[in-house]
Amino acid sequence: AQKVTQAQTEISVVEKEDVTLDCVYETRDTTYYLFWYKQPPSGELVFLIRRNSFDEQNEISGRYSWNFQKSTSSFNFTITASQVVDSAVYFCALRGGITGANSKLTFGKGITLSVRP
């Protein structure tokens, strides 16, 4: 069984602060894929990043960075110099690496981030 835990439920920061969103996952697959999605108030899930289990290199994209650590089964997301537009619900998701029909994503419960001016 696969599981994604986002222990933080709500985070509130002041604009320009850095914030880290935690994600811990469980899977028995040796190959798997991790994702982060952003859900603004409009409701649409916006894809942010995909990480393969065999690639532990951290990634930076502008103000966003991701820290993948297989040893602790974590895939954390950091927003540097947060902005009001970053306010949204952020989901971490997991997909097993078994090839075949089922490619569904298992999502965490999400973290609501509020960035105050």
Q: Which residues bind other proteins (CB under 8 A)?
A: 4, 33, 35, 37, 42-47, 50, 52, 91, 93, 95, 97, 99-105, 107-110
Q: Measured from the CB of residue 37, what is the shortest distance to other proteins in angstroms?
A: 8
- Structure token digits, residue 19: 């914030």
CA 8 to chain centre: 12
- Structure token digits, residue 55: 């690639």
Smaller CB separation from other proteins, 9 or 83: 9
Single-letter code of the amino acid located at 8: Q
Smaller CB separation from other proteins, 63 or 104: 104
Smaller CB separation from other proteins, 15 or 105: 105
What is the spatial distance between Cα 89 and Cα 113, in angstroms, rounded to a whole number?
Answer: 6
Q: Measured from the CB of residue 93, what is the shortest distance to other proteins in angstroms?
A: 7
Which residue has tokens 């029909």? 101
